Structure formats: C-alpha cells, structure tokens
Amino acid sequence: MAVLVTGGAGYIGSHAVAALLEKGEEVVIADSLYQGHEQAVLGGKLYIGDLRDEQFLAQVFGENDIDGVIHFAANSLVGESMEDPGKYYHNNVYGTLCLLEQMKKAGVKRIVFSSTAAAYGEPERVPIDEYDRTVPTNAYGETKLAMEKMIRWFDTAHGIKSISLRYFNAAGAHESGKIGEDHHPETHLVPLVLEVALGQREHITVFGDDYPTEDGTCIRDYVHVSDLADAHLLALDRLRQGGESAVYNLGNGLGYSVKQVIETARHVTGHAIPAVTRDRRAGDPAVLVASSARARDELGWSPSRSRLEDIISSSWNWHRTHPEGFKS
Ligand code: UDP
C-alpha cells in the first residue's frame, strides 16, 4: 500500500515525503512542478502533472495501490490570491474536487489536508483554537476553508475520512541539509533575513514596530517544517486506525516577534543583519498564535524543534549550503 503525497515536491510536502520514507512507507508523489522542485523529492515514485488533468490523476491512482492521501498541492501566496482569486479557486478548490472524485472512484478513504490558520482570519482571541470562528481575510484562506468544507462533505456522502491541519509559519529545513525552503519570489521573514546574512540583500525590512506587542513588532507562530511533517504522518495513522474526521491546529503555542527572529538570526549567523523599519504591511494582525493542545492530546503530536534558535539554525544550514536554493 502506498501513500500519495500531492505537492510532494514543495517545501512542506517534500519534508513529509522524507518523513514517510524514513518510516519505511511506500510513497507516490504527484506534483506539477509549477512551484515544486524535482530535486526536493528524496525518494518514492514521482508523477509530474496537474490534479485538474483527469487522465493524469487516473493514471496515478490506476498504477498504484493507494491507501491514503496527504494533500499539499495548492497555490499559497496571500498577496497573489488577492490579485488573482480565480487562479486560487481554480487550482486549489477545483484541483481538490478532482482529487476527491478520483479518491471516490478508486475507493481511497483517507485524506490528510494541509490547511492554514489563515482560515480563521482576524483572530477573536489568542491562542486561537479549533472552535474559533473562521472568517478568512484573503482569498487564499478562503479557498483553503472551502477545500476543508468540500472534503467534509465527501465524508458525509462517501465516507472519505479527513484530518485538516491548520498552521501558520512553517520554517526551518530538514536535518540532512538536503532539502529546505526555495520560493520564487520569497516573501517569508525567516528566509529573507537569512538572505541578508548571505549578502543577497542589503537589509531586512521590518513591517511596522508600532503594534501593541512588547517590542512593537508582530508576533507569529513559527513551527519547524519537520515537526509539521510528523503531524501529517500521525494524522494519517489516526485515520488508518479508524479515527473520525477532524481539524487540528499546529503551532508552537509560544509566538516570536519579528525583532526576536532577526536577533536570533544575528546570533546564529554571526552577521549584523541590518534592519530598516517601514510601515505596516496591509492585513497583518498583531499576534497570531495557535493553540495546538488538541493535536497534542489526540494525535500525540509533540513538536521537538520548537526553539526559535533550532528552527533558524536548521534553516541557515540549508541556505548557507544552497545559496541559490535547489539550483546550487
Ligand atoms: N515580515 C517583515 N518583513 C518581511 C517579511 C515579513 O517584517 O520582509 C513580518 C510580517 O509582517 C509578519 C511576519 O514577519 O508579521 C511573518 O511574515 P511572513 O510573511 O513570513 O508570514 P505570514 O505571517 O504572513 O504568514
């Protein structure tokens, strides 16, 4: 029996593939390589194609004995989703519909879904828990929430059990140093800060230091990508053991400020990392921290790499040795 990982050549997907291979699972990967990298796939059987291509997906399910799916394949840039929501509805929502229809046809009854805490929108309170209201403030979060809901209806109607995992700030890189973050364009804080340390940028821009937080900068929940990968495996195991459909947050529960991230990166890299403060970025809430008590209790998830220093060190190890990402 094999696990199908869609988007398995992407940042988080490739770490999930690595974790599955380390566990001795048979892995099949479906990725369009629009954003993913072939070199990020450390093993398994890679199929290059788009989930919206019915023939392609039928081939993937036809040639393999798939017992569960971990679904990462999606567009995930908030800014882009606001400029081109159609692209997000088409690839994310319609792509997921095509996947579910194939699962139904093939009789595959388990799916672990890579969702996002952007499904909550502006938080009512922090830490956010799974019962809080979901009112996304951008099209990306809206499509992910629509995908979650569609997946649930396929449980009601067809018995396809699902676990949706909502997380914010994935960071860090695999301990082997072979895979890590490689986005074009890069918009995330941790890799941008490390690009300054590598001399690829002159400074890091801090988007606002007048937030109602201790040091005035935004607080976010940074989770090590390998801890996230582990949670997807635990979720799949739970479904294999007959677990019911559920939604879990994944976070470190602590939260770190933009200034703390920059300071830790200075410490880890030994580089001065000049910072320039600018205006706030539109749509950034002051504090986003998830409560993952439920994932800990019910999935037995215990993130072991939550220290900011460990997250940034592993990321630095990747960026330092791969200054041009997978092209290096
Ligand atoms: N941020 C920043 N400068 C940058 C990129 C990000 O100050 O060049 C801030 C951003 O405003 C947010 C935090 O860093 O408060 C994390 O942003 P990122 O884009 O990495 O992830 P997001 O929280 O948007 O998912």
- Residues at CB less than 6 angstroms from ligand 1: 168-169, 187-189, 192, 204-207, 218, 220, 258, 281, 284
Q: Does pLDDT of 164 surpass 90?
A: yes
pLDDT at 168: 86
Is the four-CA dihedral 83, 16, 42, 58 of positive or negative sign? negative
- Please, which residues have CB within 8 angstroms of residue 186's CB and are 6 or more apart in sequence? 192, 195
Instruction: Locate the ligand 1 atom nearest the alpha carbon of residue 168 and give its number.
Output: 25
Annotated active-site residue in 140, 167, 211, 256: 140
- How far away, in angstroms, is 4 Cα from ligand 1 center? 31
Q: Is 140 a catalytic residue?
A: yes
Ligand 1 atom 19 nearest Cα? 188
Q: Is the ipTM above a cut-off of 0.95?
A: yes
- How far away, in angstroms, is 31 Cα from ligand 1 center? 27
Evaluate whether 155 touches 161 at the Cβ level (below 8 Å).
yes
CA dihedral 239, 33, 176, 64 (to 10 degrees): 40
Ligand 1 atom 14 nearest Cα? 189
Tokens for 260, please give them: 């703390």
Ligand 1 atom 10 nearest Cα? 207
Tokens for 26, please give them: 């048979």
- How far away, in angstroms, is 88 Cα from ligand 1 center? 21
- How far away, in angstroms, is 87 Cα from ligand 1 center? 23
CA dihedral 117, 283, 312, 236 (to 10 degrees): 10
Quote the pTM value: 0.97
pLDDT, tens only, 65-114 = 999 999 999 999 888 999 999 999 999 999 999 999 999 999 999 999 99
pLDDT, tens only, 173-199 = 999 999 999 998 899 999 999 999 999
Higher pLDDT: 20 or 121? It is 20
Tokens for 52, please give them: 């919206």
Instruction: Locate the ligand 1 atom nearest the alpha carbon of residue 208 and give its number.
Output: 7
DSSP state of 109: -
Tokens for 69, please give them: 């799916």
**CA–CA separation, 210 vs 148, rounded Å?**
35
Ligand 1 atom 12 nearest Cα? 218
Q: How many helices (H) and strands (E) does the chain have?
A: 11, 14
Q: Where are the domains of the chain?
A: 2-171+222-250, 189-221+253-327
pLDDT at 79: 86
- Mean per-residue pLDDT for 283-304? 93
**CA–CA separation, 62 vs 54, rounded Å?**
12
Q: Does pLDDT of 283 surpass 80?
A: no
C-alpha distances (whole Å) from 148 to each of 66, 94, 222, 304 are 21, 12, 22, 27
pLDDT at 282: 79
- How far away, in angstroms, is 217 Cα from ligand 1 center? 10
| Percent share of the chain, pLDDT over 70 | 100
Ligand 1 atom 1 nearest Cα? 189
pLDDT at 78: 87
Residue 63 is inside which H or E element, if any? helix 54-63
List, in sequence order, every beta strand (DSSP E) within 161-297.
161-167, 169-171, 204-207, 219-220, 222-224, 246-250, 256-257, 275-278, 287-288
pLDDT, tens only, 22-47 = 999 999 999 999 999 999 999 999 99
- Mean per-residue pLDDT for 153-178? 97
Edge-to-edge strand list for the sheet holding 256-257? 256-257, 219-220, 287-288
DSSP state of 295: I
Spell out the CATH class of 2-171+222-250. Answer: alpha beta
pLDDT, tens only, 216-243 = 999 999 999 999 999 999 999 999 999 9
pLDDT, tens only, 118-156 = 999 988 899 999 999 999 989 999 999 999 999 999 999
pLDDT at 253: 80
Superfamily of domain 189-221+253-327: UDP-galactose 4-epimerase, domain 1 (3.90.25.10)
Q: Where does the pLDDT of residue 247 fall: very low under 50, low under 70, confident under 90, or very high at 90 and above?
A: very high
**CA–CA separation, 303 vs 318, rounded Å?**
20
Q: Does pLDDT of 285 surpass 90?
A: no
Which residue out of 190, 204, 257, 258 has the highest number of ligand 1 atoms within 8 Å of its CB and is therefore the one to mutate? Answer: 258
Evaluate whether 320 touches 182 at the Cβ level (below 8 Å).
no
